[in-house]
Amino acid sequence: MSNQLFVKMALDSWNSKINDTNRLLDKIADEKFQDEIAPNRNRGIYVLGHLVAVHDRMLPLLNLGDQMYTDMDDVYLSNPDRTKPITHSPGEIRQRWNEVNAKLSERFNSLSDDEWLQKHNAVSAEAFAKEPHRNRLNVLLSRTNHLAYHQGQLAFLKGNTE
């Protein structure tokens, strides 16, 4: 019973953040993504591309499949904004955001409660034996916080009057 309860709590938290972020993104016009989120800070399109790349890499990290869009790491993950040209349109990034999250959702729903407690792929079997909290569910908690962090920033792209 307990495992089921905790998996539900962590998945609810993730889904709630994804839904909040999608509602926010619906309020931001495509052209606003070219703006800096705050003066001299990352552009909106970089932050959304970064979120796509981080979520996409959860597939191999959680042993749930291959990364879908390997062309994004170099631009949105390994390098700061404005060091590599961004060739994706806001529409393309939005589409990838939805596709990556849909794939994650499908894979998440296929996991049993016990499978959520299995190790992720960035920890060795030896380390995991001593540190059983380094499991898939822990990655989910961590990535939910990561999304919340950047959602707080993307909120600045919304109009002030809303």
The torsion region of residue 40 among left (phi > 0), alpha (psi -120 to 50) and beta comes to left
Whole-number Å distance between alpha carbons of 15 and 24: 14
Task: Select from 60-68, 89-97, 120-128, 132-140 the region that touches its own copies (CB under 8 A).
Answer: 132-140
User: What stretches of the chain show up as alpha helix (H) in DSSP?
Assistant: 2-26, 44-56, 58-61, 73-76, 90-110, 113-116, 125-130, 136-154
Neighbour-count burial of 44, counting CB atoms closer than 10 A to its CB (0-12 exposed, 13-18 middle, 19+ buried): buried
Question: Is residue 132 part of the contact set for its own copies (CB under 8 A)?
Answer: yes
Nearer to its own copies, 98 or 153 (CB): 153
**Could you give the string, one character per residue 138-157, with x where binding to its own copies holds by CB under 8 A and - elsewhere?**
x--xx-xxx-xxxxxx-xx-
Residue 106 structure tokens:
């499908």
Among positions 23, 26, 40, 126, the unique one binding its own copies when judged by CB under 8 A: 40
Question: Is residue 107 part of the contact set for its own copies (CB under 8 A)?
Answer: no
Among positions 12, 30, 74, 106, the unique one binding its own copies when judged by CB under 8 A: 12
Query: Where on the chain is the footprint of its own copies (CB under 8 A)?
Result: 2-3, 5-6, 8-10, 12-13, 17, 37-41, 117, 132-133, 137-138, 141-142, 144-146, 148-153, 155-156, 160
